[in-house]
Structure 1
């Protein structure tokens, strides 16, 4: 039973504690009587003293407060040997001081009774077996000199015998008693019996060697070491301790029987005791070595178990783990767990000794540069990267690279932990798209009003043109005026539709140089009508550096901030409130955009939470609580930050800071494809060509035919399959204008077929799209080099695009 802390002193003072002390005194006295068998001289100094090992083990297990039991047991033992009272008292005090000092030293050094660490074996051997036993032997010898009649000339010899005898007792008996309480390892029963039998046999061999003369003792001690190694490797420190104890008992017994120490004269007995002392000293050295080997073996087993546990945990992690060895050529993969191999769909052999960069997909130049620098310089890295799947797809991964250093501080390995965030990325993209649609939906009434005005204007002018044409030549000029006005109304509708498309388009994450003032124009058109009866709109544009980013994403941020500003201002007080949009260059060179209002402001207790997802003070009809969170996410993804300051009743100011784009846009940062907004007219008229128009909307196809017919030969169809049949049958076309998304055979199918069967015509294919509404269509637009015209297409843009595509004249197909 082990009693912790200060409770041991109180426990020792109880009746049960006193009984335990008395029992300890009796045990110490009995073991001491057994040790006196080997005593020499008039003062009964023994070269083998197992009582010291019993005393130290007792104080380590029970607590130092039980020292009175050791003292009384030693005092009774000394008085029983006929020593003077004061000498007996001094010997008892020395015998008590020895285990007390040893126990205190071991406790201070963090000693563990399991003896499974090298420092524990060293502490027991040096601190207790050599250190404290020397103190106890010296104190007891001095008391014999002062009150027992021991001559000063015999002090050194007496201390030596006493010291080594006590040290042997601690080294041999204490480990056995401490480890006796530990749980016996399962299995090894027959092996344990075999070890015990070999130990007894070794002891008998030592006994027989002892009968052959003093020199045979030293050779016989070598029988012990293989047994200690066996016990250390197979049975931990517990096995070594009991082998030591058993072998020592056999040696002591054989010495008593074989040498007859008790029957010799004093001179002969002293010579024989020195022989026994040397034998026990050799066994003690071997025992200490065995315990050290057992501690090292136990530590190795623990380390192996920890490594196996770590390896099992790493293999079973859902996150991908890659361990890279740092070499002069750069990091090389030495391990990849199953989760990472599943992310890239590669076997271990295909990953080993390869650079980790070989498994990375396309990413923005800044992130790739940071990652390459971290791998090259063996420094930490954290960010989002793209991994290449063997099937050709891309896996979004959040990666954290951490260096592993050796004892000297040098980096030897890099550990990369990958977390597949593809699903999260897709969900985030959908949330962003939903928030864009929600922002536009908030302004739906105003957008509808903006469309209704030019639509009514368009209808009235078309009706007027029809009536004017009914008048014959006299109404031609009037009809032309009506048609021009109708064209202006159609252009206004086209711009509104284009703004709606910008704020609801998916997949527009390409990085390019963006002027925030250009992003502001469509956002302001979206909110202008909703703002009319709430506040005056003030536009304050100053010089601002371009930024590297996605215009659609930054437009979403600006639209959301403008919607919030509109909602913060009460209706009906337009002359009293202002919504201001301002651009300028920040003092540190960053692009700065501010959206401010003079509305109700934000309460101080609410302000710290406004960027938290789903936090909102609006009603469910006005907001979802995602807008500002997504805005912050977009701005941070662009390397910037969004700040806010607000006071209740004084309005709010939201500030966006974005780093300026580099002077020369890196080639990899350019968007893979950007739809054509305007094409320049060729310097000279293009040649006449045969053009195939494929669109599932018959009226649109007919309108384009009428537009192109004066300059080109035009063939139209509403089915993609029919167009492919015409090309397959040998009909020649110089150019194909094709809708991207159609029922049945899509424009993407037509392109894939032409690329295989008529590659020259595939290069002369111009797409038209009302919006890439599927991820596949968005990815297709980014991957092909062909022009993409967004509906509604202005006539001059269509004509210029076709003329440019027909120059130079292609070879016949």
Structure 2
């Protein structure tokens, strides 16, 4: 009896490790997948932080106010593009990059933390607003371009400008009469980062090498690049010729849509900023406030022209393509249901018609 009882008990005990082993083996792939996703997220956060810091250092070469407020702040464009493409999980990268770049500028640690909070919340707010209106990253509709301008750029960046300027004022890093000039440059600089840098990054994500483009298309693209470089030099020339950028932006938007309009807007805005910081071209001989207003008006007009016009042209082309596709399908359906003779289909005679031969009649 003891051996009979011990046998089943022993076999049952031997089955437990086997079942446990099978259970652990089934959970291993899920655990590995979770670790892989965590590693990818960590790499994305690190990449966003590095790009934020590097672009911030680059943007500081254009500083106009207190050595840390610039007319174009590329990190905001990188932050919003990262949120739109990778999701809100990469926000620690934005916070880390903002902390590192602001810590290197010298304010106290509490001031750095406050400015970092504003710099992190601003793109998150812009992302939330764009997500609420079903923004498409391809910016192939007019509503997408308008949302990026007014919600992503103008509205969301109010947070960073207000928090940053207030922090500098409370830290006695700004005089009382310097608050509003700093706030204005901070807000417009962050907004210009969204309007100018974010579209370029969104375009790069879906960019591909054209395989069947005719040679004339390549010649036109080369001419557009040369014209962009030429306009950049003219913006720094003594005569006020910055307005020549707008025919260039119109050309890029009509012929190449956002793929060319966004880089052209970035190029002409960068050239204008260089002219303003050097005090050359149309910005020579004016006060700081006058140059700030003129520069931000020019950059805003250039960015909005490129974005809105490219979106309108893309939307029109898409509508035309759908109309042509619908006409083609209707033609195919008509060809299938028409008689083999090619004439129109025979319809029955109405009751009000006079009875002649009693047969069906053709209607024109």
Band of TM-score, shorter chain:
0.7 to 0.9
Q: More helix per residue: 1 or 2? A: 2
In the TM superposition, residue 88 of structure 1 has moved relative to its aligned partner by: 0.8
What's the counterpart of residue 362 of structure 1? 349
After superposition, give the CA deviation of every residue in 1:613-670 in whole Å (9 maximum; x if it has no partner): xxxxxxxxxxxxxxxxxxxxxxxxxxxxxxxxxxxxxxxxxxxxxxxxxxxxxxxxxx
Match of 1:206 among 218, 235, 238: 235
Distance 1:280 1:342, change over 3 A: farther
Q: Separation in 1 of the partners of 2:362 and 2:223?
A: 59
Distance 1:387 1:241, change over 3 A: farther
Match of 2:184 among 160, 172, 185: 160
Match of 1:132 among 156, 165, 182: 156
Three-state SS of the structure 1 residue aligned to 2:236 is helix
Q: Is the 8 A contact 2:265 2:303 kept in 1?
A: yes
Q: Tell which has more relative contact order, 1 or 2 (C-alpha 8 A, sep 6+).
A: 2
After superposition, give the CA deviation of every residue in 1:397-449 in whole Å (9 maximum; x if it has no partner): xxxxxxxxxxxxxxxxxxxxxxxxxxxxxxxxxxxxxxxxxxxxxxxxxxxxx
Q: Separation in 2 of the partners of 1:286 and 1:238?
A: 15
Q: Separation in 2 of the partners of 1:34 and 1:106?
A: 27
What's the counterpart of residue 246 of structure 1? 267
Answer yes or no: is 1:96 the counterpart of 2:124: no
Q: How does 1:38-49 map to 2 (within 5 A)?
A: 38-42=62-66, 44-49=68-73
Tell me the C-alpha RMSD between the 2 structures: 3.0
In the TM superposition, residue 308 of structure 1 has moved relative to its aligned partner by: 0.9
Q: How does 1:50-89 map to 2 (within 5 A)?
A: 50-89=74-113
What's the counterpart of residue 245 of structure 2? 224
In the TM superposition, residue 150 of structure 1 has moved relative to its aligned partner by: 3.1
Distance 1:121 1:12, change over 3 A: farther
After superposition, give the CA deviation of every residue in 1:492-527 in whole Å (9 maximum; x if it has no partner): xxxxxxxxxxxxxxxxxxxxxxxxxxxxxxxxxxxx
Distance 1:255 1:82, change over 3 A: same
Q: Is the 8 A contact 1:86 1:147 kept in 2?
A: no
Three-state SS of the structure 1 residue aligned to 2:264 is helix
In the TM superposition, residue 175 of structure 1 has moved relative to its aligned partner by: 0.4
Q: How does 1:148-297 map to 2 (within 5 A)?
A: 148-184=172-208, 185-186=210-211, 187=213, 188-209=217-238, 212=239, 216=240, 220-257=241-278, 259=280, 271-272=287-288, 274-297=290-313
Q: Separation in 2 of the partners of 1:204 and 1:176?
A: 22
Q: Is the 8 A contact 2:273 2:295 kept in 1?
A: no
In the TM superposition, residue 46 of structure 1 has moved relative to its aligned partner by: 1.6
Q: Separation in 1 of the partners of 2:276 and 2:180?
A: 25
What's the counterpart of residue 388 of structure 1? 362
Q: Is the 8 A contact 1:25 1:72 kept in 2?
A: yes
Unpaired runs of 5+ residues, structure 1, are 1-9, 321-336, 347-355, 369-384, 391-813
Q: How does 1:418-433 map to 2 (within 5 A)?
A: none
Three-state SS of the structure 2 residue aligned to 1:116 is coil
What's the counterpart of residue 478 of structure 1? none
* Corresponding residue pairs, total: 319
After superposition, give the CA deviation of every residue in 1:768-792 in whole Å (9 maximum; x if it has no partner): xxxxxxxxxxxxxxxxxxxxxxxxx
Q: Is the 8 A contact 1:204 1:254 kept in 2?
A: no
Q: Separation in 1 of the partners of 2:87 and 2:105?
A: 29
What's the counterpart of residue 6 of structure 2? none
What's the counterpart of residue 19 of structure 1? 43
In the TM superposition, residue 25 of structure 1 has moved relative to its aligned partner by: 1.1
Three-state SS of the structure 2 residue aligned to 1:14 is helix
Distance 1:364 1:74, change over 3 A: same
What's the counterpart of residue 300 of structure 1? 316
In the TM superposition, residue 151 of structure 1 has moved relative to its aligned partner by: 3.9
Q: Separation in 1 of the partners of 2:148 and 2:46?
A: 26
Q: How does 1:304-315 map to 2 (within 5 A)?
A: 304-315=320-331
Q: Separation in 1 of the partners of 2:363 and 2:342?
A: 4
Distance 1:254 1:155, change over 3 A: closer
Q: Separation in 2 of the partners of 1:386 and 1:179?
A: 60
Q: Separation in 2 of the partners of 1:307 and 1:175?
A: 28
Q: Separation in 1 of the partners of 2:37 and 2:342?
A: 70
In the TM superposition, residue 114 of structure 1 has moved relative to its aligned partner by: 0.8
